[in-house]
Chains A and B, each alone.
Chain A
Amino acid sequence: MMVCSLYPALRVTTPWSCSESHLGSCRKQLMFCVSRRKARRRAWTGVSCSAETRTVVIGLAADSGCGKSTFMRRLTSVLGGVAEPPRGCNAYSNTLVGDATTVICLDDYHALDREGRKEKGVTALDPKANNFDLMYEQVRALKSGVAVEKPVYNHVTGCLDPPELIRPPNILFIEGLHPLFDPRIRSLLDFSIYLDISNEVKFAWKIQRDMAERGESLESIKASIKARKSDFDMYIDPQKQYADAIIEVLPTRLIPEKSATEVLRVRLVMREGVKHFTPVYLFDEGSTISWTPCGGKLSCSYPGIRFFYGPDTYFSDEASVLEMDGQFDRLDELIYVESHLSNLSTKYYGEVTQQMLKHADFPGSNDGTGLFQTIIGLKIRQLYEQIIAGESSHGWKREQLRRCLRLSPV
């Protein structure tokens, strides 16, 4: 974290008013320094400026039971390290802390606990059940480098537990039902992703998750989905128009049976014109490509793999869509596909394959969900590096500052 400490003994009057809002701390110091140089006083040794890192904020929106946790684990792995619950007091903390990343679950900002929601007859999907003011204040504080005491929502008891301390990380993920709902929070996000799971696939995943549980029947799963559907369509689904990248998961088209959900068709919709984000493409950027890699060079088992890439409009915005239908069966299929995709933001050949292999036990490791989540992770890494490089392009000013303060280069 950047710390520019100013020793109170050195009082300088400058014509500039340095407000602490948008100015990076180092620039503030520079302004002081210029006025000092004119006075030709002794070197200002009280300032120490280490490397600037600001917090990059990424939002992930998805319904419950749609693979947010798996996505987060993949993302934090690509960005380095393992994100784990903080070793502290609360065993039911929803937060994950890693070397460079912190993941905050927005359920912690529930304004009403389970009892409160039952009394008022609202679901957790309803904005009335969430405290957006606190959410905005704390995300803004973390983004500007201030640690916060964040409330904790206990999913087992359904109560709000005592708050926990969250320190500002390099990359902050906010995942939950409403990261894109409030316009103020949207303005804080550097990048946002929406996981759009179709109804058939969501139903199949919930069966897979809950049927093994004693007491859950098919009817109860159906009733639960149906009861939440209207709130979901009203409050959660509209958020996808604001996301920079949308991952749509649909049933496959390769198997002729109606809505076969064992094999998935996954579409990565990438908005054009997002800062620091270059969409992935297949062969030729901007053209429409339909590609079946299985054939002479690559043999795949049924139902095979099919790719599609092309420009499209998404909610009347320009976007590129990369679609994968089918499953990977073997390692060489994965590396073959990776070698034909471009703009992956990998640092070496085979990085996507290696990341997928690292988490071969995660759900979705053999289809488009894992592939596109890994690619998004690499894109976020590139976005972070570009943002930080952009911030420190003021580095030449830092050099000047150091010289004028007669400090040795760091």
Chain B
Amino acid sequence: MLMAATAASSVRLSTPGAVYTKAQLPRPQRPHARLLPLLGGRRRAVLAASAPSTPPDISDKVSESIKKAEDACSGDAVSGECAAAWDEVEELSAAASHARDKLKANSDPLENYCKDNPETDECRTYDN
């Protein structure tokens, strides 16, 4: 853990700009930014590293539930079963989205280390 932190910190110190948080608002996120991974096979590999993917078990559950919902609604589109099936899709999509966010939050080992040790040199941030 210490080794990993030192390794991560040495990588971090080599890019000193990254240590300091800049008092700047990021550019507004465009809604189609997430669609970029779907465009062009060549860019996919690069963007897959930055856009967190859903864990495969949840992702399979979502696809399965969509199929089930489409089957349930093929008979009667206003029945309770149809609504319950699409509600399940919505629930699983929300769970998938939370899982993606959690993966994104846990992906950087330095961030995880700094959460527990904010006073160490590698983790200090300066606002001015």
Contact = CB atoms under 8 A, between A and B. Distances in A.
Interface in B84-100: 84-99
Given A158-B88, A214-B59, A65 B93 contact: yes
Contacts of A331: 23-25
A363 B31 CA distance: 11
Contact of A155 (B25, B70, B94, B101): B94
Given A212-B51, A329-B28, A228 B87 contact: yes
B62 A213 contact: yes
Interface in B74-128: 79-99, 101, 115
Contacts of A17: none
B34 A208 contact: yes
Nearest to A365: B25
A204 B93 contact: no
A183 interface: no
A212 B28 CA distance: 19
A123 interface: yes
B15 interface: no
B42 interface: no
Contact of A224 (B31, B37, B86, B97): B86
14 contacts: A117-B84, A121-B84, A122-B80, A122-B84, A124-B91, A156-B92, A158-B88, A158-B91, A211-B34, A224-B93, A228-B83, A261-B31, A357-B25, A367-B28
Interface residues of A, number: 52
Contacts of A410: none
A209 B93 contact: yes
A118 B61 contact: no
Shortest 9 CB-CB contacts between residues of A and residues of B: A121-B80, A227-B86, A123-B87, A215-B63, A155-B95, A212-B34, A224-B86, A227-B83, A121-B81
Given A121-B81, A156-B95, A207 B87 contact: no
B19 interface: no
B1 to A, nearest CB: 17
A11 interface: no
A114 B91 CA distance: 10
A334 interface: yes
A55 B109 CA distance: 36
Given A69-B98, A121-B83, A227-B87, A334 B25 contact: yes
Contact of A125 (B23, B24, B87): B87
A361 B28 CA distance: 10
Contact of B73 (A120, A124, A223, A262): A223
A224 B90 contact: yes
Contacts of A262: 28, 30-31
B46 interface: no
Interface string A312-338: 000000000000000111110010000
Contacts of B8: none
Given A207-B31, A212-B35, A213-B54, A64 B94 contact: yes
Interface in A290-312: none
A231 interface: yes
Nearest to B55: A156
Interface of A: 64-65, 69, 82, 114, 117-118, 120-125, 155-156, 158, 204, 206-216, 220, 223-224, 226-228, 230-231, 261-262, 327-331, 334, 356-357, 360-361, 363, 365-367
A230 B83 contact: yes
B14 interface: no
Nearest to B52: A212
Contacts of A334: 25
B5 interface: no
Contacts of A356: 25
Contacts of B81: 118, 121
B112 to A, nearest CB: 12
B17 interface: no
Nearest to B37: A212
Contact of A329 (B25, B38, B51, B79): B25
Nearest to A114: B88
B14 to A, nearest CB: 23
B109 to A, nearest CB: 17
Nearest to A121: B80
A114 B51 CA distance: 30
B84 A118 contact: yes
Contacts of A117: 84, 87-88
Nearest to A153: B91
A327 B25 CA distance: 11
Given A209-B93, A211-B34, A213-B93, A223 B86 contact: yes
A55 to B, nearest CB: 26
B40 interface: no
Nearest to A261: B31
A270 B6 CA distance: 50
A357 B23 contact: yes
